[in-house]
């Protein structure tokens, strides 16, 4: 009888497990479908087109890679940008995204699936979003089990913060980098849990892929050492920790140095020093652990005192050498971007280009609710769940959420790094809730059905359950306890011994644990309410994907009583440039439009979105801020033929150059002191109406934006600034208008040729000059 009972239980258990696996597989499949399909709104509402600005550069680079091969790509010097400086593409681009899409295109073409490069680039991000969801499942499974993994993957598939950077068409580094980030963290935790050198090696390779993909890899190489330090400091050092960390530092650094854009920065910049410092510390901890094992406690104390004394002296010397090495650098070895993260006020004080980028601004409080919605208040519950019980993996998750929450508060674009952590924490919280509720429902169902096999078990613990219901004490699930115990095993060789120990501990847990069971009605209502909460989250995510984050930026739309209007002025302008200018003509514009101009118009630009040369950008900013003649001189010195400005005053497009103009003034004034911001402000206010300063009204940007604007409505009302312009009737002396798009959004001007003969005035000026050398002291360097 007993044997058949055990067989029945075993059969039931295996059936349960098989059914659970089937549901798990189906859920993961549907999560992948959801992650892909929710990102297709931009393709359905607009078209299959590359979005924004940076993706156009990535698209152009991918085209080059596919056309010319990888060796030409590594050695590519691009002379069509940053004229006359050029740009070394191979050494300044993170190649991960390009190589991934290129490999995908090559693979599909080898299967005779002739997709265009543009199509592959457009759909790379949704594909990798599905991969990122599966990676989140794997990572959360290592932390808290399969149920939490499924919940976390569901959240990540739809979280608006991630959707904003991975819609179809958003062909940017983050599209693949977030997948690489999560997968690297998963492999780190997997190595931490298993102590396997195989996973450690995979971890290093995954880190290499992350380094290839995004500059945000510095987050990984600082977070993991922080976690290792935390484990050592809290007495959780183990050989698994060593296997998880040491190979990553050595292999990872060597592989990172192979990426041209990183190169020797992997060992020279301060972003990487934490990993080396912790590498030393973990060896010290390992040595201490070993010595402690072989010495008696008294001898160990003596040895420790001696070692600490000598060690302190060595450490102080080493730190002094390090400080001296980095003190020579004004930024102490940190890059500008890293410093602006560590000190949120740094960029606004010292690097106006970083401060001027809208996605580098701190987020507002509502943007947290917009980008992570319901997860914002599930995260604290997840943090608490990670403490119950605390494991190496869950302590890593706590560190991840805390650091990413801080950085997301510094820059709105780093909400993207917070999103996976928030999803994992929320998944853990939701899974814990479901554990209690589903267990309660099953327990109450078994009780009411009078199941004999379960009744015996129930009566034996009936008292404790009753007591727990009254006291509502904390609950521990068997899975979690077993998992906690298994992750504390030091190595596979002592598995049997550890198993005996774990069983002893488990028995102790069984005696001490209390079961939290809720009444059936409460459980069912709670499940319904949580499904409703989930429904709100799904609805918000779908709305955000459809309405907020699907716009391609290159094409604008508006709805009115007449229907929908499409503003395709940008492509109209680039197309005009492509068909009406010579191949070698240089185009000057603010850096925002550089990538699009080179990719779509195929023309050489002066500055672009890479913003690597502040002086060159300041030169263009100074030209835009100067009067017509001075601006013409500056552009003439740069061989510029055409100037492009974006103007939104006719249709009410707010992201135009007039709204960005103050940044041009600040950046220009940062390098050329004769440009002063105060000259463009009236009583501290930025104005373009009749109260605007003469400097503002005479600036090139003002003139090129408002030239002939009075002809549109007879009054010259700027719909963005909401006022009549100050200077309505004027002529251009050094520029001529060659093209204005249908809605006046993009205006292109040609530089007039220099005059052929010297005029009489200049001869008179030379003859009246007392010094006779024809020169006078000037502040403006172009005079």
Partner 1 sequence: MGLVVRVGGFGFTAKMMNDQDLGFFANLLGVFIFILVIAYHYVLADPKYEGN
Cis peptide leading into residue 84 (ω within 30°):
yes
411: which 2 tokens? Answer: 């820059």
Give me the least distance between CB of 464 and partner 1, in Å please. Answer: 7
**Least Cβ distance, residue 652 to partner 1 (angstroms):** 23
Structural contact between residues 487 and 142, judged by C-beta atoms closer than 8 angstroms: no
* Chain contacts with partner 1 (rule: CB under 8 A): 16-17, 19-20, 23-24, 26-27, 30-31, 33-34, 37-38, 40-41, 44-45, 146-147, 150-151, 154, 157-158, 430-431, 434-435, 437-443, 446, 453-454, 457-458, 460-461, 464-465, 468, 475, 477-478, 510, 513-515, 517, 527, 530-531, 534-535, 537-539, 541-543, 545-546, 564
Which residue, 269 or 426, has its beta carbon nearer to partner 1?
A: 426
Identity of the residue, 419 or 746, whose beta carbon is nearer to partner 1 in the bound complex: 419
C-beta separation of 722 from 692 below 8 A:
no
Q: How far is the CB of 270 from partner 1 (least distance, A)?
A: 43
333 Rama sector, left if φ>0, alpha if ψ -120 to 50, beta otherwise: left
Closer to partner 1 at the Cβ: 445 or 629? 445
What whole-number distance in Å separates Cα of residue 524 and Cα of residue 440? 9
Tell me the C-alpha distance between 393 and 425, whole Å.
12
List for the chain the helix, strand, coil content (%; round to 5). Answer: 65, 5, 25
Closer CB to partner 1, residue 256 or residue 545?
545
The closest of 581, 627, 586, 628 to 607, measured between CA atoms, is 586
C-beta of residue 475 within 8 angstroms of C-beta of residue 436: yes
User: Is omega for the bond preceding 770 within 30 degrees of 0, making it cis?
Assistant: no
The structure tokens 């044997």 sit at: 3
DSSP string, 226-250: HHHHHHHHTT---HHHHHHHHHHHH
Residue 406 vs 543, nearer CB to partner 1: 543
Nearest residue (CB) to partner 1, 360 versus 435: 435
Shortest distance, CB of residue 421 to partner 1, whole angstroms? Answer: 19
- Residues present in the chain in total: 783
Least distance from partner 1 to the Cβ atom of residue 30, Å: 5
- The nearer residue to partner 1, 146 or 361, going by C-beta atoms, is 146
Closest distance between partner 1 and the C-beta of residue 523, in Å? Answer: 10
For partner 1, the closer of residues 7 and 733 by Cβ is 7
Closest CB 369 distance from partner 1, rounded Å = 18
Kindly state the tokens that stand for 178.
């977030």
Say which residues have a Cβ less than 8 Å from residue 113's Cβ, sequence separation at least 6: none
Judged by beta carbon, residue 41 or residue 219, the one nearer partner 1 is 41
Q: Name which of 40 and 61 has its Cβ closer to partner 1.
A: 40
Considering the complex, what minimum distance in angstroms separates the CB of residue 128 from partner 1?
18
Helix H or strand E segment including 737: strand 735-740
Quick one: DSSP state of residue 123? H
Comparing C-alpha atoms, which of 523, 339, 496 is closest to residue 434? 523
Q: At what angle do helices 217-233 and 392-410 cross, to 10 degrees?
A: 130
Residue 150 beta carbon to partner 1: minimum distance, rounded to whole angstroms: 5
Nearer CB in complex with partner 1: 459/780: 459
- 81 within 8 A of 587, measured Cβ to Cβ: no
Q: Which is nearer to partner 1, 108 or 520 (CB)?
A: 520
Confirm if 547 and 556 have CB atoms less than 8 A apart: no
**Cα–Cα distances in angstroms (integers) from residue 645 to residues 496, 570, 656, 659, 730, in the given order:** 74, 11, 8, 12, 18
Nearer to partner 1, 123 or 245 (CB): 123
Measure the CA–CA gap between 183 and 27, rounded to whole angstroms: 19
Which pair of structure tokens corresponds to residue 63? 């085209």
Which pair of structure tokens corresponds to residue 388?
């119950």
Q: Closest approach of Cβ 487 to partner 1, in Å? A: 19
Query: DSSP code of 145?
Result: -
The CB-of-437 to partner 1 minimum distance in angstroms stands at 8
Torsion from C-alpha of 684, 689, 694, 699, nearest 10 degrees: 100
Shortest spacing between CB 756 and partner 1, in angstroms = 57
Residue where the block lists tokens 């508006």:
558
Name the minimum Å distance from CB 109 to partner 1: 26
CB of 511 or CB of 755, closer to partner 1: 511
Q: Specify the DSSP class assigned to residue 224.
A: H
Output the CA torsion 222→224→230→232 (10° steps).
Answer: -120
> And the tokens for 669?
């004034």
Cα distance between residue 436 and residue 439, in whole Å: 5
- Minimum distance of partner 1 from residue 5's CB (angstroms): 13
Helices of type H across 50-116: 54-68, 70-74, 89-92, 96-110
Q: Tell the smallest beta-carbon distance from residue 513 to partner 1 (Å).
A: 5
Between 453 and 655, whose beta carbon lies closer to partner 1?
Answer: 453
């Amino acid at each position: 009888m007993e044997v058949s009972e055990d067989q029945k239980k075993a059969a039931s258990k295996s059936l349960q497990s098989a059914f659970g696996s089937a549901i798990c597989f189906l859920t993961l499949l549907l999560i992948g479908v959801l992650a892909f399909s929710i990102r297709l709104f931009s393709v359905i509402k607009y078209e299959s087109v590359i979005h924004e600005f940076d993706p156009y550069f990535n698209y152009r680079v991918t085209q080059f890679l596919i056309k010319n091969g990888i060796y030409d790509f590594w050695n590519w010097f691009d002379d069509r940008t940053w004229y006359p400086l050029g740009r070394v593409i191979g050494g300044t681009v993170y190649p991960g995204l390009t190589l991934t899409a290129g490999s995908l295109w090559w693979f599909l073409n080898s299967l005779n699936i002739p997709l265009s490069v543009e199509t592959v680039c457009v759909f790379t991000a949704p594909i990798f979003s599905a991969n990122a969801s599966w990676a989140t499942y794997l990572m959360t499974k290592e932390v808290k089990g399969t149920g939490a993994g499924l919940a976390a993957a569901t959240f990540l598939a739809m979280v608006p913060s991630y959707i904003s950077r991975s819609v179809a068409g958003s062909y940017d580094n983050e599209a693949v980098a977030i997948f690489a980030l999560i997968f690297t963290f998963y492999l780190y935790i997997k190595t931490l849990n298993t102590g396997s050198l195989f996973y450690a090696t995979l971890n290093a390779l995954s880190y290499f892929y992350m380094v290839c993909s995004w500059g945000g890899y510095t987050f990984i190489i600082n977070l993991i050492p922080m976690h290792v330090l935390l484990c050592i400091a809290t007495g959780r050092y183990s050989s698994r920790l060593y296997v998880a960390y040491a190979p990553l530092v050595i292999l990872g650094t060597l592989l990172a140095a192979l990426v041209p854009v990183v190169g020797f920065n992997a060992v020279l910049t301060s972003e990487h020093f934490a990993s080396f410092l912790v590498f030393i510390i973990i060896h010290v901890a390992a040595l201490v652990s070993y010595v402690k094992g072989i010495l008696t406690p008294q001898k160990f104390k003596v040895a420790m005192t001696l070692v600490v004394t000598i060690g302190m002296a060595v450490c102080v010397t080493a730190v002094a050498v390090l400080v001296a090495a980095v003190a020579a650098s004004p930024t102490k070895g940190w890059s500008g971007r890293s410093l602006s993260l560590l000190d949120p006020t740094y960029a606004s004080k010292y690097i106006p280009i970083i401060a001027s980028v809208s996605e580098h601004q701190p987020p507002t409080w509502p943007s947290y609710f917009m980008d992570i919605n319901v997860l914002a208040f599930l995260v604290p519950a997840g943090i608490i769940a990670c403490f119950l019980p605390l494991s190496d993996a869950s302590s890593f998750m706590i560190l991840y959420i805390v650091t990413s929450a801080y950085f997301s508060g510094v820059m709105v674009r780093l909400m993207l790094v917070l999103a996976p952590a928030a999803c994992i924490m929320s998944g853990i919280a939701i899974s814990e809730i479901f554990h209690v509720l589903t267990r309660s429902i099953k327990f109450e169902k078994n009780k009411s059905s009078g199941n004999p096999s379960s009744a015996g078990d129930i009566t034996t613990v009936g008292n404790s359950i009753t007591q727990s219901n009254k006291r509502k004490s904390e609950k521990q699930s068997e899975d979690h306890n077993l998992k906690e115990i298994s992750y504390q095993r030091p190595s596979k060789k002592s598995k049997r011994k550890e198993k005996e120990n774990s069983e002893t501990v488990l028995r102790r847990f069984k005696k001490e644990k209390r079961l939290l069971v809720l009444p059936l009605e409460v459980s069912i209502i709670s499940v319904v309410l949580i499904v409703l909460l989930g429904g709100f989250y799904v609805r918000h995510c779908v709305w955000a994907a459809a309405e907020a984050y699907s716009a391609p930026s290159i094409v604008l739309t508006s709805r009115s009583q007449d229907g929908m209007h499409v503003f395709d002025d940008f492509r109209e302008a680039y197309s005009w440039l492509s068909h009406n200018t010579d191949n070698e003509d240089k185009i000057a514009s603010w850096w925002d439009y550089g990538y699009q101009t080179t990719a779509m118009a195929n023309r050489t630009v002066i500055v672009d979105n890479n913003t690597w040369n502040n002086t060159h950008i300041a030169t263009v900013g100074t030209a835009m801020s100067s009067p017509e003649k001075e601006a013409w001189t500056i552009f003439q010195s740069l061989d510029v033929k055409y100037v492009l400005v974006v103007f939104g005053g006719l249709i009410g497009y707010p992201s135009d150059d007039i709204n960005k103009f103050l940044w041009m003034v600040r950046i220009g004034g940062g390098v050329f002191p004769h440009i002063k911001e105060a000259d463009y402000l009236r009583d501290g206010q930025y104005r373009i109406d009749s109260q605007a300063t003469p400097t503002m009204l005479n600036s090139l940007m003002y003139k090129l934006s408002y030239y002939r604007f009075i002809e549109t409505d007879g009054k010259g009302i700027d719909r963005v600034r909401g006022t009549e312009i100050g200077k309505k009737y004027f002529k251009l002396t050094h520029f001529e208008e060659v093209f204005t798009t249908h809605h006046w959004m993009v205006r292109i001007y040609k530089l007039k040729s220099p005059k052929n003969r010297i005029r009489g005035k200049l001869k008179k000026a030379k003859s009246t000059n007392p010094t006779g050398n024809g020169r006078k002291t000037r502040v403006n360097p172009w005079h």
